[in-house]
Structure formats: C-alpha cells, structure tokens
Amino acid sequence: MTKNDLFLRAARGESVERTPVWLMRQAGRILPEYRALRGQLSGFKELVETPALASEVTIQPVDALDVDAAIIFSDILVVPDAMGLPYEMVEARGPLFPNVIKTAADVDRLSIPDPEDKLGYVLEALRITKKALNGRVPLIGFAGAPWTLLAYMVEGHGSKTFSKARGLLYTDPKLAHALLAKITATTIAYLQAQVAAGAQVVQVFDSWAGTLPPAHYREFSSRYISEICEALAPLVPVTVFAKGAWFAVEDFAAMPCRTIGLDWTEDPAAVRRAAPGKTLQGNLDPCALYGTPEQVRDATEAMLRQFAGGPHIANLGHGVYPDTNPERVKVFVQTVKGFRG
Ligand code: CP3
C-alpha cells in the first residue's frame, strides 16, 4: 500500500506536492455508517469506551470521504471523567456533568490519573487503529485545552455564555489556577501516552477560547496550552485550535506548536503575518458545505487561495455540522486534492 504522509509532512512544515485535507468531527453523525453503529449501542460512552468500535468509526471517514488523516474517535470530556468528574452524554442535548467543581475541596478530590489506568480504552483504540491503518494515513490524537475543560467542569454542561466558569476567574482565580494546573498535568501525561500508543500529531481543542477577554485568555488559557506544547513538541508536531482567539495569535506564534488552527472568522493572511513559519490549518465556514457542488467548489478554492504563501492543511473552521450532506464533504475533499495554486 502506498503511504500517504502528506498531512504529517505539512504538520512538520515540510514541503508537499499538494495541500492535505481532513475535517474536524469527520468521524460522526454525518456518516450513515456511524449512525447505524451508534444506533445499536446503549449510548455515546459505550462507543467511546469500546476500543474496537472507536477504531472502526475512526477509520470510517478515511474510507468514505478519502481524507488525508484519521483522528481518533473519542471526546475531550474523557479527561475530567478520568480525573474523577464523570460526564453523561444526553441524547440530542449534549454533555452533562451531574457533579460540578465549586470549591477547593472539589479540586482536591480530583486525581491526576495514570493514563493507562483510567484512559486505557483510548490508548487501546489508538493502538488498534494504528495497526489497522498500516500507514495509509497519519493518526491524530487530541485533548481539550485546560480552559475549555474547566468551562464544562464548572458549568456542568454547554452554555451560550459560560458565565459560571468566566465568573470564577474573577471571584476565585486561585481556585481556577489550582484546577487548571491539575487538568494540565493530566493532559500532558495523557497526550504523551497517546503518542506512545501511536498518535503521530496531537491537536489541542480550545473550543471556548473566544469567550474570554484577551488578558484573561493569557492568564487562564494560553499559558497552560504553552506548557502542553512544551511537553509534547519534542515528541510530535502539535496543533493548537483555539476557536475565536484571533487576539492570541502572537501567543501561539511564540509557542513550540507547529500548526495553528483557524476558525472561519479569522483572516489567513493576517495570521500568516503574525505567525511566520507556522503551518496553518482551516478554515472553510462549515456552512459553505450547505451549497450546491459548484458553490462548495468555489468556496473551497477561494479559501485555499487565502492560505497561499506558506504551509497549509485544509480543514473547516470548526467541526462539520451533523446535517451536512457527506456528498458535499466529498466535493470539498476532492476540490482540495485537485487544486494547484
Ligand atoms: O471526528 C472527530 O473529530 C473525532 C471525534 C471528536 C468528538 N468530539 C466526537 C463526538 C472530537 C475531536 C471531539 C471534540 C470535542 N468534544 C470538542 C472540541 C471540538 C469542538 O467541536 O469544539 C468539544 C467541545 C466536545 C464536547 C462535546 N461532545 C459536545 C459539546 C458534544 C455534543 C454536541 C455534539 O456535537 O453532539 C459532544 C458529543 C460528541 N462528540 C459527538 C461526537 C461524534 C456526538 C455524539 C453522538 O454520537 O450522539
């Protein structure tokens, strides 16, 4: 089998024959084969915690969509779960934490677990997947950024404002730092274990970055992401995707991450200027995939042209929306593959 290492080379900043492409949330509800498997199970957690099944859905988009990378099927919320704060995934609603973090005693009760002990199911899924892929495409590992995990652990569920979590940064910054430090230590050990289990690139998702004012972002988020990058960069290329954090691009430019992920509101040319030498990843608006095949092609080519002048990994600006037609995703992927800028 010919090995496709385009994504890995672009993630290292090496030159490539064409732009590699994958999609955040490519493994999931857009694929009928995912929904079929998921429908036979008790819930999302069963899928995440059964390595053979997690591996199967990791590879589904590689077969169905012809993407240049696989991302391990899991969730960012497995980390709080492993630390002693369990989550539930409520059908059609999203994540829910029955208990939340309110006091210093709550933080003290959390552990910094041994990843093999508490997250062995993810590591086993990585090992099985790496073997099954046999070099077909590179395998991406991931974790949530400490701030985004804190947001769920304090709030208990998704929120438009994350006002409880943001409020904590004003009312009890000491407690917030104690929690962030514990999450960071857990995440570093977890990502190192993912690399040992076969992850060739790791991505840190800071989905709620854009909810913070720049000074708070620096104090409560980017410094912890920087610690994670410093620990992982000697092992594998690291990607930071911080949604809405256009104001922090200079911080990311100064970190040992190799790739910066852009959401669809960011200007690729401006990020290139602010972060010379980095690989950029993104950033088609997921809504562009609601268009006709011709509209998807045009929007994708316009996006690709904006990234000229440096290494690029094509992706959406956030996860693909569940009501997206997989046929349009294929048009996106094939347009990238056929593009010669
Ligand atoms: O294909 C992939 O990208 C890998 C799998 C993956 C999932 N979650 C699977 C999933 C990844 C990388 C994540 C990351 C994740 N999880 C993030 C960061 C990225 C982002 O989108 O901002 C966040 C914030 C979460 C937390 C989470 N998990 C939420 C808010 C939800 C509910 C909303 C939703 O999208 O359904 C989930 C559930 C979830 N995680 C699903 C999948 C496929 C849907 C669950 C189902 O099958 O019903």
Q: Confidence class of residue 58 from pLDDT cuts 50, 70 and 90?
A: very high
Percent share of the chain, pLDDT over 70? 99
Q: Is 24 in the pocket of ligand 1 (CB under 6 A)?
A: yes
Around Cβ 104, how many Cβ atoms within 10 Å?
A: 13
Would you say residue 203 lies in a domain?
yes
The reply to whether ligand 1 has any atom less than 6 angstroms from the CB of 30 is no
For ligand 1, is residue 261 a contact (CB within 6 Å)?
no
**Residues near 303 by beta carbon (within 8 Å), at least 6 away in sequence:** 283, 284, 288, 314
CA distance 39 to 53: 13
Token pair of 297, please? 């092609």
Residue with token string 């990058």: 229
| 38 is known as an active-site residue | yes
Q: List the domain range (segments joined by +) for residue 250.
A: 36-278
Q: How high is the mean pLDDT of the chain?
A: 97
Number of separate domains in the chain = 1
Query: How close is the Cα of 186 to the center of ligand 1, in Å?
Result: 20
Residues in contact with 187: Cβ distance below 8 Å, sequence separation at least 6, in sequence order:
79, 143, 144, 146, 149, 228
pLDDT for res 330: 98
Average pLDDT over residues 264-278: 97
Does pLDDT of 1 surpass 60? no
The answer to the question of residue 116 being in a domain is yes
Q: Residue range 265-276: average pLDDT?
A: 97
The atom of ligand 1 lying closest to the CA of 322 is 35
Q: Please report whether residue 12 resides in a domain.
A: no
Distance CA 309, CA 272 (A): 8
Report which protein residue has its CA nearest ligand 1's atom 32.
94
Minimal CA–CA distance to 259: which of 340, 200, 208, 333?
200
Q: What is the mean pLDDT of residues 179-185?
A: 98
Q: What is the spatial distance between Cα 47 and Cα 43, in angstroms, rounded to a whole number?
A: 7
Mutate to test the pocket of ligand 1, among 21, 22, 24, 25 (most ligand atoms within 8 A of CB): 25
With cut-offs at 50, 70 and 90, classify the pLDDT of residue 92. confident
Average pLDDT, integer, range 281-295: 98
317 Cβ inside 6 Å of ligand 1: no
State the residue for tokens 């995703």. 329
Nearest to 54 by CA among 173, 194, 187: 194
CA of 75 to the centre of ligand 1 (A): 6
Catalytic pick among 34, 81, 87, 152:
152
Q: Is residue 3 part of a domain?
A: no
Per the annotation, the verdict on 75 as an active-site residue is: yes
Query: Is the CB of 45 inside a 6 Å radius of any atom of ligand 1?
Result: no
Report pLDDT for 2.
58
- Give, as one character, the DSSP assignment of residue 62: H
Asked if residue 341 has pLDDT above 80, the reply is no
- pLDDT average, residue stretch 259-281: 97
Predicted confidence band at 340 (pLDDT cuts at 50, 70, 90)? confident
> What secondary structure letter does DSSP report for 96?
E
Q: Quick check: is 117 catalytic? A: no
Q: What is the DSSP string of 255-313?
A: SS-SEEE--TTS-HHHHHHHSTT-EEEEEE-GGGGGS-HHHHHHHHHHHHHHTTTS-EE
Within a domain: 215:
yes
What's the mean pLDDT in 197-216? 98
In a domain, 244, yes or no: yes
Tell me if 314 is assigned to some domain: no
| CATH number of the domain residue 165 falls in | 3.20.20.210
Taking 90 as the threshold, does the pLDDT of residue 23 lie above it? yes
Position 300 in a domain: no
CB 332 within 8 Å of CB 294: no
In this structure, are residues 129 and 70 in contact, taking their beta carbons and an 8 Å threshold? yes
Instruction: Indicate yes or no: pTM above 0.95.
Output: yes
- Marked catalytic residue, from 38, 127, 218, 223: 38
Residue listed under structure tokens 């840190």: 204
Query: Rounded distance, CA 256 to CA 16, Å?
Result: 21
- Tell how strand 88-90 and strand 94-96 pair up: antiparallel
Q: For residue 157, how far is its CA from the centre of ligand 1 (angstroms)?
A: 13
